[in-house]
Structure 1
């Protein structure tokens, strides 16, 4: 009866006069045409005195009416930003939780027909990139007695030429009123002519070097060594297992290991340096590697693979002396919002190692999913790893982020204990440390719902004590809040003991998995971010606040307590900077890793410097450059989020100067494409204080496939590796107390010229040397779009910012032909990777 009342409350209806049956529901799911149009991202006025709003329209039609399908339906869909005002009387739209909304027929609704029935509405917050408009609307009956079905017209498709996602349910974006977020937003439309004006044409056909660039490289001669006959590894002071994966990569690229191959002498001799240092000498008769530890020898062999031209299996004769810039060179992969396959993770580990990254931060749990099996807590994965339309959430979570209704969809899933152990061991063989994260106390909805399902199941079995043990809900807590992702129930109650019993259980089991893998758990990332608004009306929290001496705040109390729990297990605590800002430094353990993720244009340097001055290990996670879930360019067809940056291409990552954060005010602009000021006069780093490293981030809210994840990750991963490993000579040295702006002039013309020359080296190696290797590994990297300008009526100039790509032109009749400057006016342009035939997104020139 409680469930029926819940249904009535959510749907706002009683039993209909004409109930829909399953066949009519099935018909509707196959025949209902849904079209979403973003009408205006910056209306001149907003209803209900909102200062900012976004105006949109949904329309519904069927080619041929079916009267049985015109009553008693409800449609559930994901809308990232809540709808707060609906126009007209055809439909009602209600926000349920998170991004889930529900559409119901209202009094003015007279049935679906071939004439579209429309509803217009306003949202409070910005949603302006096409990938933010989620697919897989679900239709069901009001009583939820039938099997819900995904509406066919709201499913995505793949472009036959590029393999990129198409959204037939979303109307085209044609104006800046759809791309910009407000009247103050000067974000440009980065079409082909804009790119022609702001990108630089590659000038080099080839370059001798590596990505990441080594500390020192000397060309010994113009001779190249052929390795087509393979290599013969001779090892001293190191086991074959320590370098096996580097050897495997060479084999995969075509250089086999054989007794009669070219001699590669690898000798490891430890010294006082703990970070990897190596010397690689390629001579006419042998290759010599001298390293101070196993990781250094592994990286030297990866450098050998990096030097390789896979077309003729030759390498230059060079001497390399090398060592990393930072000890922490990381990549964060979110598998919680949308699941990533084990195969994707293993392949990502391979590519991280190829470019000398050494920390994999695995984000294993969030509001939308729990992705790691935990012994004795089966519901964490049997319920928490799946999304479908089950309002009781006893079988699965609500279908957030356009997940649809199929539990077997690729966006769902989890890693078994054996899967995780395999990942850990595979990472170890690539000299990569895995840092697991199961986000708490915010971003914990999957855990909360799963443990409620466990509670209900055990209560029905009469096991009251067992049911209560890991329950994460305080029934008497009447707090009403909304998280930044619009959930009202996603935060653990930090004031009840069950929370810490649960956390201790989870941490203990994760530690066991690491021990079984032979890979000790040394650092655990608790998350600890975005908890505002919770616990205000919790009786347990009021009791706790009154009983704890020197109480500071609830989130700080939680972090301090969990940090102590981790320390007793011999595990270092890590967390996001906003959460760790709530703690008292004196109450924390000695070793703390903090990811500084405030945007640089909003005083991100102040946050990073403050934590570094506390003696903590600061890993830079600046969203406006290291978040790879943002678009490469501000164009409607580019996938990504938009709140921290409208464009993060490989060059922006390459240009990052991580040791001098405020200096970016001279070379970059903020999210609205405005200049900003970075004042370091009261936030300077103390003398001798250094940052620990840098981490790239692949959040997954808008990534529903491994291929989409690869598109967002590559080739930006290589630019991340460049900055994490190599300190460029053109980087502006940090000087405490300076104030930077577009006019401060510290980054001189000479430094700019050095940077541009270095970029030309990088992009030549990337295009001619590395992208073919990614193609060989079957990685769906982003093919660049074409910069172009009509110079005259009969002459068109075009290029790609990354070297080595051919360009094709689309004629007015639709045919694609090889580009030449004399084609005159063409319809569109696209880049093609010559060796693999992979095609990039086409730019239609009429838009310019």
Structure 2
């Protein structure tokens, strides 16, 4: 205790010469208590100049008295703090989301157990709990010592749900912590809301079928085919390697390959009248027959065998299936840049993608917060660009954005070695999945810029000026001031420098070599195509370039140059739709893949139609329905971002009609939970024009570990696979020139009824058959929250939208199994648990908060 007090005096005192030691800094970081309170997400007025803001406060408490001022706390705040109401403390926005809190001259020190409050206003909105980052860092202002994460700001793991909890963040208990303005009608999706808006399951067991739904499916006999003795593959026209991973999944589910197993005849014959990636499947008690015109189809046929199987009985029905995919492109995007995803996570995800017939893995490998792929000859990219820590000079790492903390071993840091990447490529190939790498440019490039600056300084110190400038990505004479969407002022490549294109060429060459060495040629490269508005305005290099040629868009110029470099290597170029909107289509290669990510509720269908009409391969990447970093439900405890969707559950993905984008205005709402119009009068698809496919997205800004990543991914991934593979009969055909809204009525009552029947079939297969398989394979899926209502006789009614779980009620301090005679008023919370009771879902209290602002 005396040692601690002495250190605090040394740290905070202005009249002592004692130097702070590392041990003393560590001790205070382990004891200082910090608590964050979101007071109001929609205050009645905001201090100028912000028109939208929210009001918060930090509370600091020390367990013992001390004074002094030689300290700083660094923390992540997604939206910049622009006004601080405190005489004792100041907060500065440094870069990105990094802020620094320091005492003012008026601060006289901490008194034992007194709480000090720092109230502040922040721009825009920040309303889901996962947007409030952990891992505040204590450092000495002189940066002599190793900084340390303040223990009270670390996350913890809930023992029952195994989900991340934030003890430093005060509870959210009001609609003023859920909504962003007085126009926001976002509902609090508690147990009572779910009871009114979710469909209660009608199946008590899994119906016959498979996910994703085959094009034609017929049960030919009522008997079951037992697979207890395993299976024996008889191959014609293909190698075992072509289906090995599907066979491996069968083995994981309890069906091994054995000489005496049920014969499974698998034939690949290009002359068969079966579509690419399609297959025919017939099963009987004596034999299973799978036929396809290519190896991918054969692989999917074996995956269908695994999909048909019931885990408990290890049996399948006798069926005849004729199947082929709806879209050739069925993708998943994984962001490993913001927060790193382990190699094992990627491999595990590839296995599930193959199981459900997804075939494109878009790997996001570089962004502002990290460069995640080793590039030969440029070790700084991963040594520095792949590590976040508190080094304001950024000579050892990039700044600790997104609550990264300080540890080099943290799961949010890291990169893939060339061997790792080769292993990923080969594993994906074995699952008939194409890997599409993306190293985002010219915006979102801060990690690359910082890394190349470190290279520049190292080579200049050795007197190697030419080598130092070879890949330097900034222009010292460029004094442009700008701010990116993530509030960086230095994250955009200078597109007018020859060194930028030397760097891009170097990266492309090494990337292509890695693919060739792995035996997996690089077919598609995603350049990103993101820019930062306002960049390059005062760049002498850009001004000189503009004198030589008129450039309408600097971003478009960059994309056209890089697209030509990519096409020259016989690689298809891909990019995000907003960046591709800046190019001259006549200056682009003939083959272009565009990921359209415009929001449907903001007329996003127009962008998809316009770019499809150019003849480009449109991959639907719409945030409203394909961004799996958004919450499943609008509830403070559900993790995720909030800017495009407040509730994106499995059913919403299932309901998506990708061939008819504007129709969703009839039954979906915008981000403020309002109805919206989708006007397609002047933006229709040309006759015969369609989409290449669709892609799900797992962005990682708020996903710090692989467990949370799997929670966000499953079970939505299965609904994505269903919709990418299968076109349902209830989907409304697209017709150009219509206006859709909640009154237009093109989605008929009959079609809605058919959709409900299809959903009941799908969700029963999901809950009773597929989630147990994910459990068997160790995947961490989201357990559904539970709907609760009061029956007329006062008893409690419970159900979960996805069946197959045990339901529990919390009464008198303990969880008990639900039964229909429980008294509603005696229950204070409800939840679902896995049948083996190893893990519980998120509990919902009864009742939910009252919507006070509407009274």
- Looking at structure 2, the residues matched to 232 and 382 of structure 1 have their Cα atoms a distance apart, in angstroms, of 48
Instruction: Show the counterpart of 2:83.
Output: 85
Instruction: Show the counterpart of 2:331.
Output: 330
Instruction: Show the counterpart of 1:140.
Output: 139
Secondary structure of 2:408's match? coil
CA contact (8 A) 1:220 1:319 kept: yes
Q: CA deviation at 1:18?
A: 6.6
Q: CA deviation at 1:14?
A: 11
CA contact (8 A) 1:20 1:72 kept: no
CA contact (8 A) 1:16 1:72 kept: no
CA contact (8 A) 1:337 1:366 kept: yes
Deviations 1:452-501 (A, max 9, x none): 00111111111111111111110000000000000000000000000000
- Of residues 479-488 and 100-109 in structure 1, the stretch that sits farther from structure 2 once superposed is 100-109
- Looking at structure 2, the residues matched to 787 and 229 of structure 1 have their Cα atoms a distance apart, in angstroms, of 42
Q: CA deviation at 1:267?
A: 1.1
CA contact (8 A) 1:577 1:594 kept: yes
Q: CA deviation at 1:792?
A: 5.2
CA contact (8 A) 2:231 2:255 kept: yes
- Looking at structure 2, the residues matched to 765 and 836 of structure 1 have their Cα atoms a distance apart, in angstroms, of 21
Shift in alpha-carbon separation, 1:129–1:220, aligned structure 2, 3 A: same
What aligned pairs does 1:209-248 form with structure 2 within 5 A after superposition?
A: 209-248=209-248
- Looking at structure 1, the residues matched to 386 and 619 of structure 2 have their Cα atoms a distance apart, in angstroms, of 29
- Looking at structure 1, the residues matched to 629 and 73 of structure 2 have their Cα atoms a distance apart, in angstroms, of 28
CA RMSD of aligned residues (A): 1.3
Unaligned runs of 5+ in 2: 1-12, 850-855
CA contact (8 A) 2:269 2:294 kept: yes
Q: CA deviation at 1:429?
A: 0.4
- Looking at structure 2, the residues matched to 51 and 419 of structure 1 have their Cα atoms a distance apart, in angstroms, of 47
Instruction: Show the counterpart of 1:6.
Output: none
Aligned: 1:748 with 2:752: no
Instruction: Show the counterpart of 2:592.
Output: 592
Deviations 1:784-815 (A, max 9, x none): 01110123574010100001111011112x21
Instruction: Show the counterpart of 2:784.
Output: 784
Instruction: Show the counterpart of 1:103.
Output: 101
CA contact (8 A) 2:192 2:847 kept: no
CA contact (8 A) 2:483 2:532 kept: no
Instruction: Show the counterpart of 1:343.
Output: 344
Instruction: Show the counterpart of 1:559.
Output: 559
- Looking at structure 1, the residues matched to 108 and 742 of structure 2 have their Cα atoms a distance apart, in angstroms, of 58
Instruction: Show the counterpart of 2:92.
Output: 94
Instruction: Show the counterpart of 2:853.
Output: none
- Looking at structure 2, the residues matched to 218 and 182 of structure 1 have their Cα atoms a distance apart, in angstroms, of 52
CA contact (8 A) 1:373 1:415 kept: yes
Q: CA deviation at 1:66?
A: 4.2
- Looking at structure 2, the residues matched to 545 and 286 of structure 1 have their Cα atoms a distance apart, in angstroms, of 70
Aligned: 1:570 with 2:573: no
Shift in alpha-carbon separation, 1:738–1:721, aligned structure 2, 3 A: same
CA contact (8 A) 1:238 1:294 kept: yes
- Looking at structure 1, the residues matched to 494 and 537 of structure 2 have their Cα atoms a distance apart, in angstroms, of 11
- Of residues 821-830 and 677-686 in structure 1, the stretch that sits farther from structure 2 once superposed is 821-830
Instruction: Show the counterpart of 1:116.
Output: 115
Instruction: Show the counterpart of 2:55.
Output: 55
- Of residues 186-195 and 280-289 in structure 1, the stretch that sits farther from structure 2 once superposed is 280-289
CA contact (8 A) 1:530 1:578 kept: no
Instruction: Show the counterpart of 1:127.
Output: 126
Unaligned runs of 5+ in 1: 1-12
Instruction: Show the counterpart of 2:7.
Output: none
TM-score (norm 2): 0.96
Q: CA deviation at 1:847?
A: 2.5
Aligned: 1:818 with 2:817: yes
Q: CA deviation at 1:142?
A: 0.9
CA contact (8 A) 1:241 1:429 kept: yes
CA contact (8 A) 2:425 2:520 kept: yes
Q: CA deviation at 1:533?
A: 1.2
Shift in alpha-carbon separation, 1:15–1:557, aligned structure 2, 3 A: farther
Aligned: 1:184 with 2:214: no
Secondary structure of 2:783's match? coil
What aligned pairs does 1:378-457 form with structure 2 within 5 A after superposition?
A: 378-457=379-458
- Looking at structure 2, the residues matched to 801 and 110 of structure 1 have their Cα atoms a distance apart, in angstroms, of 56
CA contact (8 A) 1:20 1:71 kept: no
- Looking at structure 2, the residues matched to 248 and 560 of structure 1 have their Cα atoms a distance apart, in angstroms, of 44
CA contact (8 A) 1:38 1:178 kept: yes
Secondary structure of 1:126's match? coil
- Looking at structure 2, the residues matched to 780 and 158 of structure 1 have their Cα atoms a distance apart, in angstroms, of 14
Instruction: Show the counterpart of 1:171.
Output: 170
- Looking at structure 2, the residues matched to 334 and 15 of structure 1 have their Cα atoms a distance apart, in angstroms, of 50
Q: CA deviation at 1:307?
A: 0.3
Instruction: Show the counterpart of 1:664.
Output: 664
CA contact (8 A) 2:275 2:324 kept: no
- Looking at structure 1, the residues matched to 445 and 101 of structure 2 have their Cα atoms a distance apart, in angstroms, of 27
- Looking at structure 2, the residues matched to 115 and 171 of structure 1 have their Cα atoms a distance apart, in angstroms, of 18
Instruction: Show the counterpart of 1:523.
Output: 524
Shift in alpha-carbon separation, 1:503–1:15, aligned structure 2, 3 A: farther
Instruction: Show the counterpart of 1:830.
Output: 831
Deviations 1:544-584 (A, max 9, x none): 11112x42210000000000001111111100000000000
What aligned pairs does 1:579-618 form with structure 2 within 5 A after superposition?
A: 579-618=579-618
Deviations 1:301-352 (A, max 9, x none): 0000000011110101111100000000000000000001100000000000
Secondary structure of 2:530's match? coil
CA contact (8 A) 2:608 2:620 kept: yes
CA contact (8 A) 1:81 1:123 kept: yes
Secondary structure of 1:54's match? strand
How many correspondences in the alignment? 832
Q: CA deviation at 1:268?
A: 1.2
- Looking at structure 1, the residues matched to 217 and 700 of structure 2 have their Cα atoms a distance apart, in angstroms, of 38
TM-score (norm 1): 0.97
CA contact (8 A) 1:772 1:835 kept: no
Secondary structure of 2:709's match? helix
- Looking at structure 2, the residues matched to 302 and 751 of structure 1 have their Cα atoms a distance apart, in angstroms, of 30
